[in-house]
Amino acid sequence: MNKLNEPGLEINADVLVIGGGPAASWAALAAAERGAKVVIADKGYLGASGAFAASTSGAKVIPPIKELRDPVKFERYALGGHLAQHSWWDRLLDVTFEKAPKIYEWGGYETPPYNTNGRPAYRGLQGCETMRIMRKQVKKAGVQILDHSPALELLVDDEGAVSGARGFQRQENRPWTVKAAAVVMASGGCAWLSKALGCNTNTGDGLLMAVEAGGELSSMEFSAHYVPAPKHSSVTKSAYYRFASFYDESGKVLDGLTKNGHRSTSAIAKELLKGKVYVTLNQNGADNPDMQKLLRLQQPNFMNAFDKIGVDPFTEKWEITLLLEGTVRGVGGIRIANKDCGTTVPGLFAAGDAATRELNCGGFTGGAGPNMTWAIGSGNIAGWAAADHARSLGQKATERNVRGVGRTGLVSSTETDATYDANAVVKGVQEEIFPLDKNIFRTEKGLLDSLAKLNQLWSEVQKNPVQGTAQELQRSREAVGLVAAARWAYFAGLERKETRGMHKRLDYPQLDPNQRHYLAVGGLDKLWTRPVPVPEAVVPQPAKEEVAVHA
Amino acid sequence: MIELISQSRCINCDICVEVCPTNVFDPVPGEAPVIARQSDCQTCFLCEAYCPVDAMFVAAEAHEHVEVNEEDLIAKGLLGAYRRNLGWNKGNSPEIRMNEMRELQRKVGAPF
Ligand SMILES: Cc1cc2nc3c(=O)[nH]c(=O)nc-3n(C[C@H](O)[C@H](O)[C@H](O)COP(=O)(O)OP(=O)(O)OC[C@H]3O[C@@H](n4cnc5c(N)ncnc54)[C@H](O)[C@@H]3O)c2cc1C
Ligand code: SF4
Ligand code: SF4
């Protein structure tokens, strides 16, 4: 039985975009710009869905001036283990500089003035406002939007080329099928349902769908991105911890939790493994009432965590935790195999957090712009290429014989009628992937123990999914994506026997120059990894005086 | 998590049903929507931001249900507060908020 076989909505298009965040919206606009007929299917509502709409992030909008762009390229180059590629940065910065300002124009806003440092003073346009404008623009471009329509599997033709997708319209209670010449996967990262801000729509579905279609992933070992949040809340906004004093339960100040003005996640994690940690934002000028007003205006979502419970974050102490953002501000995702954001499967392109971000971030990302630059850049590049691919296929595209390749968590087996409990599976995955001592501080033994449990969960989900309601259909499939993503992350983590980027191995604490490569990872029942060379030699850091220190 | 839909304020426009990324609400013909799947709420505050009549309250507590009291929230000015902070309420705009921000930046400098 498969709920997707019920009668439903059927559409033919040139390009299908899966997702509804910035990467997907830009891809849809870029494909439409090249004359393609585009459909975009989002799990949630294009405008409110995804990490960006809820959290707000800035991109690197930098004019093509070497002195301004070099600091961006070098900012986290060493931190990312020299796995980023400067040639990719150049392309992404070009696209972002051309495209990002259009949001202001479309929204009827005054274009931001340039700062004295030569960079546009983009600040303050919130994610939800930006996505409201993007939605309007996507509609205006003639793109057909399917909201509340999670994609559940890819379609492939007889040659194995991706030729569309199927999913379910959860508010219409019917399946959808879109046959398309090309598909852009922009379904966001995977935060394992941690409730990190805006991230619960992002359950790694795209990774699973891509691998089922014959694709592969990369940099999944760099997926342990944790962010502090007020303990009661979802608010994983990280920028203001540069104003933080940290305290233990007795009120003693904890030193060393920030490095060069930035929080140190592993130092915070070590303290949290010992006991409770509290914060007050009272350093670096945050005791100035005007600065407090400014900080309130700049991040109204951050303030929700405090205003709603009547706590003043600038004078009172509040307890923090670390929430897992996974690949959302980590790195891993679908492997990009060419300059067009194409994958290893013909007809499938990837963009944003669904794709690996190793090309501009190497083994470490974090906040402050590189991710949004990747989302805007890769979204546009993938959208253009998908439209071109559709044109090259022409009429042939819709005449192809296609079949769905989704399996685990979607299609019931004929051998048993036993079902699995999706919520219990999700909890089981979270028990392996959330704990700081398992995911941040990695050892061979710890990874093997976790993988053994995750493999048991993988066996469990070979039973039948419960598909009584649209919600159950979706959750059953999501549970499979979460197990699969955790297995890929830890399997790659086991293989990388060194400490590099955000991958920390207690048993291999040094960076090993011989492991300066990417790790492709894939497989469903049986996992595999393969080193992939970085095509660029390490670019030497320019002399100090050439690079302005970047705050 | 989402804790309140004010029955007296709600105009049954179903905007929250449409925008909620995790499909927490079910529409009810001629009535306010119901919070059908509270545990799926990801505490993104966006339904509250979109509600045209400030009828909703998303508590900051993301991992557990808390009791809230409508009168109390109104008295504290908390119904619709996020919408106002975004500049999405009537008579306000994000541009106005951004200009206030630039004004303050000129005074105290960019925070980072
Ligand atoms: C709190 C926070 C702060 C951040 N700050 C910064 C910052 O300062 N600078 C920076 O560069 N980056 C930052 N980021 C990261 C940035 O937000 C993301 O990199 C960016 O949102 C990626 O865009 P995206 O379109 O790929 O994914 P998202 O914005 O997450 O959108 C993913 C979309 O895919 C949809 N989707 C998921 N599964 C399916 C499916 N099966 N079918 C259909 N649709 C699906 C979702 O509904 C959603 O619409 C931050 C992230 C967070 C959480
Ligand atoms: S958005 Fe507000 S007014 Fe509209 S249905 Fe929801 S609660 Fe009621
Ligand atoms: S806070 Fe976000 S997830 Fe929760 S009900 Fe509102 S829109 Fe939905």
Q: Name the residue of B9, B11, B48 to mutate for ligand 2: max ligand atoms within 8 A of Cβ.
A: B11
Q: Do A294 and B19 touch (CB under 8 A)?
A: no
Q: Single out the residue of A435, A429, A436, A434 nearest to residue A451, CA to CA.
A: A429
Nearest to B59 among A109, A199, A308 (CB): A308
Distance from CA of B112 to the nearest CA of A (A): 6
As a whole number of angstroms, the distance between CA A478 and CA A474 comes to: 6
The answer to whether residues A50 and A63 belong to one domain is: yes
Query: In this predicted complex, what is the ipTM?
Result: 0.97
The last residue of one of the domains, among A388, A404, A420, is A404
Q: What is the pLDDT of residue A119?
A: 63
3 state DSSP class of A215: coil
As a whole number of angstroms, the distance between CA B110 and CA A117 comes to: 12
Given a contact cutoff of 8 angstroms between Cβ atoms, the answer to whether A488 and A454 are in contact is no
Residue-wise pLDDT for B54-106, tens only, equals 999 999 999 999 999 999 999 999 999 999 999 999 999 999 998 898 889 88
Nearest to B46 among A43, A53, A230 (CB): A53
The last residue of one of the domains, among A324, A348, A368, is A324
As a whole number of angstroms, the distance between CA B54 and CA B82 comes to: 9
As a whole number of angstroms, the distance between CA A106 and CA A104 comes to: 6
Distance from CA of A193 to the nearest CA of B (A): 9
Q: What is the pLDDT of residue A397?
A: 87
Q: Do B21 and A200 touch (CB under 8 A)?
A: yes
> Residue A234: its chain B contacts at CB < 8 A?
42-44, 62
Q: What is the distance between the terminal CA atoms of chain A, rounded to a whole angstrom?
A: 56
The answer to whether residues A28 and A157 belong to one domain is: yes
As a whole number of angstroms, the distance between CA A210 and CA A170 comes to: 22
The answer to whether residues A318 and A348 belong to one domain is: no
pTM of the model: 0.97
Distance from CA of A308 to the nearest CA of B (A): 6
Q: What is the pLDDT of residue A548?
A: 45
As a whole number of angstroms, the distance between CA B17 and CA B33 comes to: 7
Query: Sign of the CA dihedral A286, A290, A294, A300?
Result: positive
> Residue A50: its chain B contacts at CB < 8 A?
21
Number of separate domains in chain B: 1
- CA of A25, closest atom in ligand 1: 25
The answer to whether residues A191 and A337 belong to one domain is: yes
> Residue B46: its chain A contacts at CB < 8 A?
48, 53-54, 128
Number of separate domains in chain A: 2
In a domain, A433, yes or no: no
Q: Which of residues 30-89 of A touch B (CB under 8 A)?
A: 43-45, 47-50, 53-54
The answer to whether residues A195 and A68 belong to one domain is: yes
E strand spans, A44-104: none
Q: What is the pLDDT of residue A367?
A: 73
What's the CATH number where B96 sits? 3.30.70.20
The answer to whether residues A211 and A112 belong to one domain is: yes
Bridge-based pairing state of the strands A277-281 and A217-218: unpaired
As a whole number of angstroms, the distance between CA A268 and CA A225 comes to: 13
Q: What is the pLDDT of residue A415?
A: 80
Nearest to A300 among B20, B61, B82 (CB): B82
As a whole number of angstroms, the distance between CA A521 and CA A332 comes to: 10
| Widest distance between CA atoms in chain B | 52
Q: What is the pLDDT of residue A549?
A: 42
Alpha carbon A250 to its chain centroid, in Å, reads: 37
Select the residue from A104, A195, A294, A306 to test the B interface by mutation, using most B Cβ atoms within 10 A: A294
The answer to whether residues A339 and A310 belong to one domain is: no
Ligand having the closest approach to the CA of B41: 3
From the CB of residue A543, how many other CB atoms can be counted at a distance below 10 Å? 7
In a domain, A250, yes or no: yes
Chain-wide mean pLDDT for chain B? 95
Ligand having the closest approach to the CA of B46: 3
What's the CATH number where A182 sits? 3.50.50.60
The answer to whether residues A171 and A59 belong to one domain is: yes
The answer to whether residues A339 and A366 belong to one domain is: yes
In a domain, A73, yes or no: yes
The residues of chain A scoring below 70 in pLDDT are 1, 113-123, 259-261, 544-551
Query: Sign of the CA dihedral B43, A40, A126, A239?
Result: positive
Residue B112 pLDDT > 90, yes or no? no
Q: Does B77 touch chain A (CB under 8 A)?
A: no
In what helix (H) or strand (E) does residue B46 lie, and over which residues does it extend? helix B46-50
The answer to whether residues A183 and A59 belong to one domain is: yes
| Cβ-based contacts under 8 A for chains A and B | 138
Q: Do B60 and A285 touch (CB under 8 A)?
A: no
Q: Does A173 touch chain B (CB under 8 A)?
A: no
Q: Do A124 and B101 touch (CB under 8 A)?
A: yes
Bridge-based pairing state of the strands A144-146 and A38-41: parallel
Distance from CA of B25 to the nearest CA of A (A): 10
Residue nearest to atom 8 of ligand 2 (CA): B10
As a whole number of angstroms, the distance between CA A215 and CA A325 comes to: 23
In a domain, A520, yes or no: no
In a domain, A418, yes or no: no
Nearest to A170 among B23, B42, B59 (CB): B23
As a whole number of angstroms, the distance between CA A339 and CA A177 comes to: 29
Q: For A345-381, give one letter per residue: b (16+ CB within 10 A) or e.
A: bbbbbbbbbbbbbbbbbbbbbbbbbbbbbbbbbbbbb
- Ligand 1 centroid – CA A44 distance (Å): 12
Residue B46 domain boundaries:
2-108
Which chain B residue's Cα is nearest to A51? Answer: B44
Q: Do B63 and A195 touch (CB under 8 A)?
A: yes
The last residue of one of the domains, among A381, A404, A427, is A404
In a domain, A538, yes or no: no
Q: Does B91 touch chain A (CB under 8 A)?
A: no
The answer to whether residues A318 and A343 belong to one domain is: no
Q: What is the pLDDT of residue A111?
A: 77
Residue A384 domain boundaries:
3-223+327-404
- Ligand 2 centroid – CA A174 distance (Å): 25
Distance from CA of B62 to the nearest CA of A (A): 5
Q: Which of residues 35-54 of B touch A (CB under 8 A)?
A: 37, 40, 42-46, 49-50
Residue-wise pLDDT for A159-210, tens only, equals 999 999 999 999 999 999 999 999 999 999 999 999 999 999 999 999 999 9
As a whole number of angstroms, the distance between CA A194 and CA A199 comes to: 8
User: B53 CB under 6 A from ligand 2?
Assistant: yes
The answer to whether residues A183 and A305 belong to one domain is: no
Given a contact cutoff of 8 angstroms between Cβ atoms, the answer to whether A176 and A166 are in contact is yes
* A454's tokens: 């995750």
